[in-house]
Amino acid sequence: MCGTTVISIGCGTGIIEAEIERMAPVTIIGVERDDAMIERAKERIAVVKADAENLPFRDGCAHTVMFVTSLEFMENVGKALTEAHRVLGEKGTICAVMLN
């Protein structure tokens, strides 16, 4: 993951993302729609206010898109995955961690 850009959709407070950035040479951009979570995440990582179904990123800009305990709570999982695929580079990876 050397020098990679990771988009974390539904980053919440950004705790997990901050740990990943600390341990690996990656740049993580969090995506969150809840204002309270954004304020907390901004203390740890770069974060933008956006919805998973309409990401404010250009096509092919990310090496990895991750959903850490967020995908199962999306209103339209198919649209969220379509957007994740759109922002991924040619050999990008989607990582989904789910509780249920």
* CATH code of the domain containing 13: 3.40.50.150
Note the pTM of the prediction, 2 decimals.
0.93
**Total domain count for the chain?**
1
Separation in Å, CA 94 to CA 34, 52, 64: 22, 13, 6
Confidence of residue 43 (pLDDT cuts 50, 70, 90): very high
Transcribe the chain into DSSP letters: -TTEEEEEET-TT-HHHHHHHHHSSEEEEEEE--HHHHHHHTTTSEEEE-BTTB--S-TT-EEEEEEES-GGG-S-HHHHHHHHHHHEEEEEEEEEE---
Confidence of residue 100 (pLDDT cuts 50, 70, 90): confident
pLDDT tens-place string over residues 48-96: 999 999 999 999 999 999 999 999 999 999 999 999 999 998 999 999 9
**Cα–Cα distance measured from residue 67 to residue 94, given in angstroms and rounded to the nearest whole number:** 8
For 75-86, the three-class secondary structure string (H helix, E strand, C coil) is CCHHHHHHHHHH
Confidence of residue 2 (pLDDT cuts 50, 70, 90): very low
Q: Which two tokens stand for residue 50?
A: 């956006």
- Could you tell me the residue range of the domain that residue 87 belongs to? 4-97
